[in-house]
Amino acid sequence: MEKRISLTQYLVEQQRKHGHIPGQLRLLLEVVARACKRIAISVNKGALGEVLGSAGSENVQGEVQKKLDIIANEVLIEANEWGGALAAMASEEMDSIHVVPNRYPQGEYLLLFDPLDGSSNIDVNVSIGTIFSVLRKLGDHESVTERDFMQPGTRQAAAGYCVYGPQTTLVLTVGDGVAMFTLDREQGSWVLTAENVRIPEDTKEFAINMSNKRHWDAPVTRYIDECLAGTEGPRGKDFNMRWIASMVADVHRILSRGGVFLYPWDKREPDKPGKLRLMYEANPMAFLVEQAGGAATNGRERILDLQPSKLHERVSVVLGSKNEVERVTAYHHEAR
Ligand SMILES: O=P(O)(O)OC[C@H]1O[C@](O)(COP(=O)(O)O)[C@@H](O)[C@@H]1O
Ligand SMILES: [Mg+2]
Ligand SMILES: [Mg+2]
């Protein structure tokens, strides 16, 4: 039988090779992975547990919270606050940051997460996930504030997601490529199942919510119309379309077989730069996608270079196969 490599073995080995995973970061990633295992157990309970349906509350962004949004958020906070690796956390489901209480040891990292991505898919048994991003607390001041989180995505020490689908898969980068771990449900352990993940530079598959077509900006319409024109159009090839409506699952497909994902700005809410969140969704996914040889922009600029100005900041997202992302970005520049 082939030797199975666990998450811990992988992290220790990577530290030996590249030196990017000091002890505190390894501990933090292991704790996040353990929390994802607990969230997976709740997800798998479905109608047998008190996990489906609405919680009857709204988050700071005015979105209705599902029971699992709240459960996943609590699991992540509880698992991480006493571990000693963190100074503070921020979540899509919390109004402001959660500073590690001073009864626990303080660490040097900041953790950001979308505890449950794809909330609209929970009740219909379609893949959902958890997305996370890790920053370093800069400076040696003691009290952490929201300002400490205002770092561009290039500063991420690690990022990843866990997809709760037919398989439970944890996908991780610490800046040395992308690795995937599959949860062995019988053993309760994460097993390395893919290393040095690469996204093909070209693709014939796009992901966008087509129902918003009439609200798009001209460069997005141009790009999608050209894809839809297929072999008779300027691209000279037929495209396929997928839209799962869980960013985690759509990005997982792109990391697995290529493709391009777009959630662009649109005219429904013209004052918002986009629907997706920069700190909890776009930055970690952009880091993973770039580490796998893909690209990620907001249509004009590289996502990882964007300087955030607030915790719950929104952004347009175009990510995936490099040549397609470059094409969409070029169309935006040409339209200027
Ligand atoms: O219904 P839409 O607008 O297509 O939304 C799908 C998008 O919304 C999201 O579900 C937002 O995530 P949350 O469930 O964390 O709010 C993304 O995962 C996904 O890409
Ligand atoms: Mg989300
Ligand atoms: Mg969410």
The CATH number of whichever domain residue 114 belongs to comes to 3.30.540.10
Same domain, 232 and 189: no
Q: Are residues 109 and 173 in the same domain?
A: yes
288 within 8 A of 131, measured Cβ to Cβ: no
Residue 190 identity: W
**Residue 23 belongs to some domain of the structure:** yes
Strands in the chain per DSSP E: 54-58, 64-66, 86-91, 98-99, 109-117, 128-136, 158-164, 168-173, 178-184, 189-194, 205-207, 240-241, 260-263, 276-277, 295-297, 314-315, 317-320
Instruction: Give the count of domains, the chain.
Output: 2
Query: What is the per-residue pLDDT across 133-144, written as a single tens digit (0 to 9) for each?
Result: 999 998 878 789
Instruction: Return the structure tokens found at 226.
Output: 């050209």
Is residue 84 domain-shared with residue 214, that is, in the same domain?
Answer: no
Percent of the chain scoring above 70 in pLDDT: 100
Q: Is the CB of residue 246 below 6 angstroms from any atom belonging to ligand 1?
A: yes
In a domain, 1, yes or no: no
* End-of-domain residue from the set 137, 159, 194: 194
Assign 314 a pLDDT band (cuts: 50, 70, 90): very high
Indicate whether 187 and 209 sit together in one domain. Answer: no
* 145-187 confidence digits (pLDDT tens): 999 999 999 999 999 999 999 999 999 999 999 999 999 999 9
Pair (180, 42) in one structural domain: yes
* Cβ-contact 2, 81 below 8 angstroms: no
Predicted TM-score (pTM) of the model is: 0.96
Q: Is 78 annotated as a binding residue?
A: no
pLDDT at 1: 57
CB 160 less than 6 A from any atom of ligand 1: no
Q: Does 74 carry a binding-site annotation?
A: no
The band of 332, judged by pLDDT with boundaries at 50, 70 and 90, is: very high
Quick one: 120 and 222 in the same domain? no
Q: Which of 161, 194, 227 is the last residue of a domain?
A: 194
- Same domain, residue pair 166 and 255: no
Let me know whether 65 and 161 are in one domain. yes
Domain with 65 in it: 7-194
pLDDT confidence tier of residue 312, bands split at 50, 70 and 90: very high
In a domain, 200, yes or no: no
Residue 274: band (very low, low, confident or very high) from pLDDT cuts 50, 70, 90: very high
> From the CA of 246, how far away is ligand 1's center (Å)?
5
User: Same domain for 70 and 123?
Assistant: yes
Let me know if residue 267 belongs to a domain: yes
Decide if 199 is inside a domain.
no
Token look-up 């999608």 returns 224
Neighbour count for residue 228 (Cβ, 10 Å): 14
Within the chain, how many helices (H) and strands (E) appear? 7, 17
Q: pLDDT tens digit string along 83-116?
A: 889 999 999 999 999 999 988 888 999 999 999 9
How close is the Cα of 207 to the center of ligand 1, in Å?
12
State which residues have CB under 5 angstroms from ligand 2, the bound ion.
Answer: 114, 117
Q: What's the confidence (pLDDT) of residue 55?
A: 77
Predicted confidence (pLDDT) per residue in 42-71, tens digit: 999 988 878 788 877 887 777 778 889 989
What is the mean predicted confidence (pLDDT) over 116-134? Answer: 96
User: Is the model's pLDDT at 8 over the cut of 60?
Assistant: yes
Residue 119 placed within a domain: yes
User: 165 and 296 in one domain?
Assistant: no
- Flag whether 2 is in a domain: no
Helix 283-291, helix 247-257: angle, nearest 10? 10
Q: Which of 170, 194, 218 is the last residue of a domain?
A: 194
Q: Which residue has the tokens 């094409």?
A: 327
Mean pLDDT, range 216-237, rounded to an integer:
98
Q: What is the pLDDT of residue 62?
A: 78
How high is the mean pLDDT of the chain?
95
Give the CATH number, domain containing residue 300: 3.40.190.80
Report d(CA 169, CA 172) in Å as an integer.
Answer: 10
Residue 181 sits in the same domain as residue 293: no
pLDDT tops 90 at residue 16:
yes
Residue with CA at minimum distance from ligand 1 atom 11: 118
Please give the number of the atom of ligand 1 that sits closest to the Cα of 248: 18
In a domain? residue 135: yes
Same domain, 218 and 168: no
